[in-house]
Structure 1
Amino acid sequence: MNLTKLLIVLLILISASNLSAQEKAERQSQFPEFSSKPYARYWWFASKIKEDDVRFNLDWLKAHGFGGVEVAWVYPLNRFNKNDTTYTPRQEWLSPEWTRIVDFTKQYADSIGLGCDLTYGTLWPFGDTSVTFEQATQRYGDAAWRQEITKSWQYPKTGYVIDHLSQKNYQPYFDRLLKAFPRPKIKHPTAYFVDSWEVETEKLWCDGFDKDFSKKFGYDIRPYMDSIYAPRNGKYLYDYMSLISDKVLKFYCDYDSTLNSVGILSRGQVSGAPCDLISGYSSLDIPEGESMLFEPEFNSIPASAALLSGKKIVSAETFTCLYGWPRDYIRQEQTADLKLVADALFANGINRIIWHGKAHNPKDQDTVNFYATTHIGDKGNLAPEINPFNKYLETVSGYMKKGNTYSDIAVYLPTEDMWTAGVMPKEKQFIWAWGYYEMRYVYFPDELNGYSPTWINGEFLEKATFNKGLLKVGNAQYKALYLNVKYLDYKALKQLTSLAESGLNIILKNEPKEPGAVLHADYSLLVEKLKKLKNVTSVIPQNLTPFISGNKIIRHWCRMDGETLYVFFPNPKADRIKFPMGYGQSLETETKRAQVNLNFGAKSYMLDLTFEPYQSLLYKIEKGKIEKIDIGFVPKTPVVKTRPADYVAPWLVK
């Protein structure tokens, strides 16, 4: 890139922080094209990072078909040994020496054609030893408690997790890191990454929360806080979660604007965060899902947020703890199993794979691995197939980045239901996940299998318009809205009623109730008004033609690029896969077939879908013709191993 083009790109980036989401998305289309090749999370264990070792690791990744890395800073290796208290020498966190080696890494990656993102903090929740007690995250009812961060780059030193609810506490952290993180002049666009929410969420609190709550809702939340998750307090829990969400969303917005102000893109996971997930994901330049600790279906939420807010790229942390937590079958992973996960992600809107991942190793060695990962390295079982598999991921990602997601029905995400429901039963919990608010078990309804649904929330209903038979918002154009919730926010109900009066087809599966403790007198009247409109029905209207019909409906994801449509069909074995995968779960010996009709535009296309073992399918519809695109990749036949009958999963709540 010449100097003039580089200056134009930098000016575009710097001005982005003052723009709307849609304006930002339009300007991002002028950025240098992101590679469709997968990235790898690249763990630096706290130690002396040497330039020769960085070159070795990056050269290896480049040679094996990766398009970039995300550098993540974690603890020293000896933290796994309780008897070893030796301090591991390292470039101290945010020191000039640390900045220099990171700067070298970014420049060297750029010089060999790799992108290089950086995790905006050490370990997972933001925090370090410079965060004071007063700046740390709080819990209601325990003034002496603050969440600690222990196993970070600064180990064995202990710091605090930053208060994510108060700008006065997290903004100094953002600004301090911004000064230390290098920003060399490079060709590839850079994003800083925020990982999944790993802040202690139970009774999350901050200074002044009670006053802010009283101002918003007109009553005191404190008398309910000791038993806020009790079923009898669902209406108060909803109000509490509403304010928590407001504060968490501001955190993500401020994170995004802080980075954009200096020409850096924001990339991040909102998974696990106690906020409106669609609004959270839409506030970031690159929304990122994850799998397998979240099911592949969860990734339809960040993909929907990207469509609604005009974002093109939707990434996913991929292959995490594939066979179980923390380290089942490490270095023994099988490509066929990985492909099943990747295809499930593509079928839920992901178009950029982030391998989880690559441990930093000494030059010419492959002795170090990260415990909760799929191992990337010469000594792992995957090594012979990484290059051809990455080529497959690159090919599919490239097609799934074209244009925008095509969707014909908007489905209202049941945020109000989940915020009211509180704590999941133990059989649904993991040791790191206890609340319904995370949306771990939310799926599109089966009766929409023949359609192309995506999620929508109250924020984007407010932004939507109805014109010429279509609900339009961001890059989405819907023929109908599907609503199957127990609770519905008052503002959302008012907007739905207004849209329905304009002619929007609404499929209302049941009569919603108002959530929260502060109720509106006209809520029931609005519901009755909505129900009486002729275009509001409890069943899918007959004139709403499904995108796919046939003897067997195969899940799919579509991208619309101008007048051209791309349709991805995952191998049927990728449907509804759950954590953890069985070792060799992908084993397949028989060809599967399905005869379907694709109804697109004014034409119907008959297809005989033939899924050879391990294969997914991709079709292109253009100018009235349909064409099959070659995405063939045949992995090595997997070996099947079953767990012992007495196996006890360590991630389950006893």
Structure 2
Amino acid sequence: MRILFKLLLVLLTTGLFTACQSQNSEVTHSDTALWPDIEKTAKPWTRWWWMGSAVDKSNIKEHLVAFEKAGLGGVEITPIYGAKGEEEQFLEFLSPEYLELLDYTITTADSLGLGVDMVLGTGWPYGGPQVEREFAATKLVVQKYELAQGKAFDQELKPDPKERQPASLNAVLAYDTAGNFKDLTKEVRDGKLSWTPEDASYTVYALFTGKTGQKVKRAAPGGAGYTLDHYSKEAFVDYIQPYDSAFAEIKGQLRAIFNDSYEVYGTDFTPKFFEQFEKLRGYDLKPHINLLLSDSDNDLGNRV
């Protein structure tokens, strides 16, 4: 009797296991049938450093074929500084020769089912020879003046002489000890403020639009220049003009452009900062600049 019971138990267990296997097999088959085709955007891509942009058609094709065989979905081209001893092979960024090889890269990659992205510049961060000082990376420069009640102030407003980069006056704001605020920007004539505080003593903040002076790091040949003011739409529109013209000359189409690295040091301002702040935040920041720039720890200042 025990032997019969054990035999029935074995048969029952085996049957259940077989049934589970069958069900799992059906689910797996169903999932496989529903699984989408693997597109290039679902595959890993690789960063492709173009050292000195010293590339040629033979090597471009050889590498792209190897990338495709390795199972990659595409490449991210970043032109960068070149290797010593290879200067004769360097190509000027966005030159006709460079664009010809970029176009060849795109069309060859497309024939292999690969995508091509490219950084909108060389090295990092965004910047280059087309960036005029007006549109270069910007910082806030502050100069403070203490004005006694009833005492006339008649002085040219200048940033600290330690500032190596030129700076233009953006706003002149005054605050008394009670927190009352006056915008004196319109009182300035030819860079000079002539004003007498009649009702109280004031601390005057002269706010300047300064420049960081930063230039593109690890720029490729033809890509050196000032770093872009990343906070300014006008600066960006001006920055992309050479690319609009250059890309119109090639037949192939990049899949996308990207920013390799946002390493813009010391930039915290842009010429239209106050206008955009009020538009986005719903209030004027100028009456609170003294709190924002204060070293003291207070609740309102922390929230500003």
TM range (shorter): 0.5 to 0.7
Q: Which residue of 2 aligns with 1:165?
A: 231
Structure 1 segment 502-517 matched on structure 2, within 5 A: 516-517=303-304
CA drift at 1:214? 6.0
State which of 33, 53, 61 in structure 2 corresponds to 1:55.
Answer: 61
1:242-257, aligned counterparts within 5 Å? none
C-alpha distance 236-67 of structure 1, shift in aligned 2 (>3 A): same
Question: What's the offset of the Cα at 1:112?
Answer: 1.8
1:44-100 alpha-carbon deviations (Å, 9 max, x no partner) = 01143111111121122112121211111111124xxxxx9x956522111121111
Shift of the 54–234 alpha-carbon distance from structure 1 to 2, 3 Å rule, reads farther
1:113 matched to which residue of 2?
113
Unaligned runs of 5+ in 1: 1-31, 79-83, 238-515, 518-654
Secondary structure at the residue paired with 1:125? coil
Pick from 132, 137, 146 the counterpart of residue 213 of structure 2. Answer: 146
Alignment of structure 1 residues 249-648 onto 2, 5 Å: 516-517=303-304
Q: 1:203 touches 1:225 (CA, 8 Å); kept in 2?
A: no
Note if contact 2:53-2:79 (Cα within 8 Å) is conserved in structure 1.
no
Measured in 2, the distance between the counterparts of 1:96 and 1:236 equals 54
Shift in Å, 1:104: 0.5
Secondary structure of the residue aligned to 1:99 is helix
State the Cα distance separating 1:191 from its structure 2 match. 1.6
What residue identity is the alignment partner of 1:102?
L
Q: Which has the larger radius of gyration?
A: 2
Deviation at 1:176, TM superposition (A): 2.1
Q: SS of 2:42's equivalent?
A: coil
Match of 1:97 in 2: 97
1:430-489 C-alpha deviation (Å, 9 max, x unpaired):
xxxxxxxxxxxxxxxxxxxxxxxxxxxxxxxxxxxxxxxxxxxxxxxxxxxxxxxxxxxx
Distance 1:101 1:234, change over 3 A: farther
Residues 128 and 154, structure 1, Cα contact 8 Å, conserved in 2:
no
Q: Deviations for 1:622-645, whole angstroms, at most 9, x for unmatched residues?
A: xxxxxxxxxxxxxxxxxxxxxxxx
Q: Deviations over 1:466-525 (max 9, x none)?
A: xxxxxxxxxxxxxxxxxxxxxxxxxxxxxxxxxxxxxxxxxxxxxxxxxx34xxxxxxxx
Q: Does 2:135 align with 1:68?
A: no
Distance in 2 (CA, whole Å) between partners of 1:214 and 1:110 is 46
1:135 matched to 2:138? The reply is: no
* Uncovered stretches (5+) of structure 2, i.e. residues with no partner: 1-37, 142-162, 164-209
C-alpha contact (below 8 Å) 2:274/2:285 kept by paired residues: no
- Give the distance between the partners of 2:239 and 2:260, measured in 1 at CA: 16
Paired residue for 1:197, among 250, 255, 262? 262
Alpha-carbon distance in structure 1 between the residues aligned to 2:77 and 2:267: 32
Equivalent residue for 2:4? Answer: none
- Judge conservation of contact 1:47–1:88 (CA < 8 Å) in 2: no
- Over the matched positions of the two proteins, sequence identity in percent amounts to 29
Counterpart position of 1:207: 271
Counterpart of 1:48 in structure 2: which amino acid? A
Q: For the structure 1 residues 231 and 93, does the alpha-carbon distance in structure 2 shift closer, same or farther, using more than 3 Å as the test?
A: farther
The verdict on how the C-alpha distance between 1:126 and 1:203 changes in structure 2, with shifts beyond 3 A counting, is: closer
Q: State the Cα distance separating 1:219 from its structure 2 match.
A: 3.9
How far the C-alpha of 1:137 sits from its partner, in A, is 0.9
Return the alpha-carbon distance in structure 2 between the equivalents of residues 234 and 101 of structure 1.
Answer: 58
Which residue in 2 is equivalent to 1:176? Answer: 242
Residues 69 and 117 in structure 1, CA contact (< 8 A), matched pair in contact too: yes
Distance in 2, matches of 1:207 and 1:226, equals 18
3-state SS of the aligned residue for 2:62?
helix
Paired residue secondary structure (1:43): strand
Query: Aligned-pair distance for 1:124?
Result: 2.4
Letter of the 1:46 counterpart: G
- Contact 1:117-1:190 at 8 Å conserved across structures: yes
Between the aligned partners of 1:172 and 1:223, the Cα distance in structure 2 is 33
Asked if the contact 1:45–1:73 (Cα under 8 Å) also holds between the matched residues in 2, the reply is yes
- Sort the Cα spacing of 1:104 and 1:45 in 2 relative to 1 into closer, same or farther, 3 A: same
Checking the alignment, whether the CA contact within 8 Å between 2:291 and 2:300 is kept in structure 1 is no
Q: Normalised by the size of structure 1, how large is the TM-score?
A: 0.27
CA distance in 1, matches of 2:291, 2:267: 11
Cα pair 2:78 2:119 within 8 Å, conserved: yes
CA RMSD of aligned residues (A): 3.1
1:223 alignment partner, one of 265, 290, 300: 290
Quote the Cα distance in structure 2 between the aligned partners of 1:77 and 1:123.
14
Matched, 1:126 2:190: no
Work out whether 1:232 is the aligned partner of 2:297.
yes
Q: Write the letter of the residue equivalent to 2:128.
A: D
TM-score, with structure 2 as normaliser: 0.56
The answer on 1:77 being equivalent to 2:83 is yes
User: What is the CA distance between 1:203 and its match in structure 2?
Assistant: 5.3
Higher relative contact order (CA 8 A, sep 6+): 2
**Counterpart of 2:47 in 1: which secondary structure?**
strand
- Whether the 8 Å contact between 1:72 and 1:118 is mirrored in structure 2 is yes
Amino acid paired to 2:103: D
- Distance 1:223-1:39 versus aligned 2 partners, 3 A rule: same
Check the 8 A contact 1:125/1:199 in 2, yes or no: yes
- How far is 1:204 from its partner? 0.8
Structure 1 residue identity aligned to 2:218: K
